[in-house]
Amino acid sequence: MSQRVLTTESGAPVADNQNSASAGPGGPLLLQDQHLLEKLARFNRERIPERVVHARGSGAYGHFEVTDDVTGFTHADFLSGVGRRTEVFVRFSTVADSLGGADAVRDPRGFAVKFYTEQGNYDLVGNNTPVFFIKDPIKFPDFIHSQKRDPFTGRQEPDNVWDFWAHSPEATHQVTWLMGDRGIPASYRHMNGYGSHTYQWTNADGEAFFVKYHFKTDQGIRCLTSEQAAELAGTDPNSHQTDLLQAIERGVKPSWTLYVQVMPAAEAADYRFNPFDLTKVWPHRDHPLRRVGRLVLDRNPDNVFAEVEQAAFSPNNFVPGIGPSPDKMLQGRLFAYADAHRYRLGVNHTLLAVNAPRATVASNYGRDGLMAVNSQGRYAKNYEPNSYDGPVETGRPLAAPLPVTGHTGTHEAPLHTKDDDSVQAGELYRLMSAEERSRLVANIAGGLAQVTRDDVVRKNLAHFHAADPEYGRRVEAAVRALRGD
């Protein structure tokens, strides 16, 4: 079989791919060498802006299969019957570091699932923790700036990290998660995933429910100590990527069982704390886990750049039967994620293979823009309504409407009877074994002891004392010992 001919991007055959055209054997190169200029120009443009957060990621394809009937809570078509299968793409990631960072670091992990449903793509964008550091999106840029590399030193600075947390007592719950044993997963396969936010499900009768998603790993939880992670990050910075890739190539199919917690919408207003607060979990004794189905990964991407780096997840990609809640952080992400992808990938990023619907066809009036391939033919119109059989609205909302009241303005979330920034952090601490508590205290003290300002140290210690007296005393003693006080 004859080999294919190498061509330029315009399809012309390339005569010589080893030597540039020059003015004589030893002369300067020629501007007319179209093949050379095309290669160099394309090479200069092979990278796109990396994500500000979640830059370092891995991904895989698979399917989601419904195992339990949840039609009493949602009329989402892909959840409509036991045995129903939907193709998925999942992207895992670290949060704070850049694209070149190591995998085995103490950092939350992104856990994003794209369901290619017959009613359009549904994106569930979560983390491997059920809570987060803040509860209002207006603080998000400040929070990320505090965790990123310092503008002067060019590295992550404990002074910045702990100074922000010192002024944000709501972060204490997530800090306890992050500094605990689950702060460094051994691999992407050995960690849970959570929707983290509160979402809304609506059933066929129009009844609304608020839900939280829990993907429980079927491989079991496995984590690294700080010492193990430091060694692994130095010997194999790509450890989590390598593990996921090789497991699937070996025929191992990582899987997670999906559960949801369900709260009738009418209960939310009088729940003892704000159920839309991203810094809090719903206790399982109040709202037990209900099994929904199983997520299985069985195919690696052929091209990491095309399918992982260019994968675009947006929490506002809902399908009928699923919608948002008043969760402030979720509301902010509904804009921010889609806008990030328009910046990074262009307004037509939804036409890329990894982002395009697979079980249905997108039909709308979006035209033009960078890399447009959606001309839709000479007779198609790009306005609505029209008289030319173009796509029309359904008149059926995806989810139930959210009630609103009050005056416009900047408001703190309404207080419920037991809203508190410290209680759940203390409960999490008391759930830990003696060994887990010791490692947690050591991890916190190791970072906090590096902070140069005494007032910042005191403010952080106050958060741990408020969460649990023993927790506070042990962290304070460990910090004093490390600082030689």
Listing DSSP states for 31-88 in one string gives TT-HHHHHHHHHHHTS--PPPSSS-SEEEEEEEEEE-S--TTT---GGGSSTT-EEEE
pLDDT level of residue 411 (50, 70, 90 thresholds): confident
What is the Cα 33 distance to its own chain's centre? 44
Count, residues in the chain: 485
Which are the catalytic amino acids?
A: 54, 127
Question: Could you report the per-residue pLDDT of 345-373, keeping only the tens digit for each?
Answer: 999 999 999 999 999 998 888 888 888 88
Burial class (CB in 10 A: 0-12, 13-18, 19+), 5: exposed
| DSSP states along 121-181 | EEEEEEESSS--S-S-GGGHHHHHHHHSB-TTTSSB-HHHHHHHHHT-GGGHHHHHHHHSG
Query: Which helix (DSSP H) or strand (DSSP E) does residue 476 occupy?
Result: helix 469-483
State the average pLDDT for the chain.
Answer: 95
Residue type, 163: D
Per-residue pLDDT at 282: 98
Query: Is 90 exceeded by the pLDDT of residue 413?
Result: no
Query: Is 90 exceeded by the pLDDT of residue 417?
Result: no
More confident residue, 402 or 71: 71
Query: DSSP letter at 90?
Result: E
Query: Considering only 168-177, 277-286, 376-385, which range has the smallest mean pLDDT?
Result: 376-385
CA distances, 172 to each of 167, 305, 331, 429 (Å): 11, 36, 22, 11
CA distances, 298 to each of 32, 63, 68, 423, 479 (Å): 48, 8, 22, 41, 46
Question: What's the average model confidence in pLDDT over 196-204?
Answer: 97
Question: Could you report the per-residue pLDDT of 446-465, keeping only the tens digit for each?
Answer: 999 999 999 999 999 999 99
Query: Is 90 exceeded by the pLDDT of residue 1?
Result: no
Q: Tokens 């000479």 label which residue?
A: 378
Q: Which of 76, 184, 168 is nearest to 122 (CA)?
A: 76
Question: What's the average model confidence in pLDDT over 80-102?
Answer: 96
Query: Is 80 exceeded by the pLDDT of residue 167?
Result: yes
pLDDT level of residue 309 (50, 70, 90 thresholds): very high
Query: Which helix (DSSP H) or strand (DSSP E) does residue 255 occupy?
Result: strand 255-264
Q: Tokens 């969460």 label which residue?
A: 467
pLDDT level of residue 415 (50, 70, 90 thresholds): confident
Alpha-carbon span 143 to 160, nearest angstrom: 10
Per cent of the chain over pLDDT 90 is 87
Alpha-carbon span 303 to 245, nearest angstrom: 12
- Please name the residues in contact with 197: beta carbons below 8 A apart, sequence gap of 6 or more: 126, 212, 278, 315, 325, 327, 329, 330, 333
Q: Are 416 and 126 in contact (CB under 8 A)?
A: no
Per-residue pLDDT at 56: 95
Question: What's the average model confidence in pLDDT over 101-121?
Answer: 97
Per-residue pLDDT at 53: 95
Question: What's the average model confidence in pLDDT over 117-132?
Answer: 97
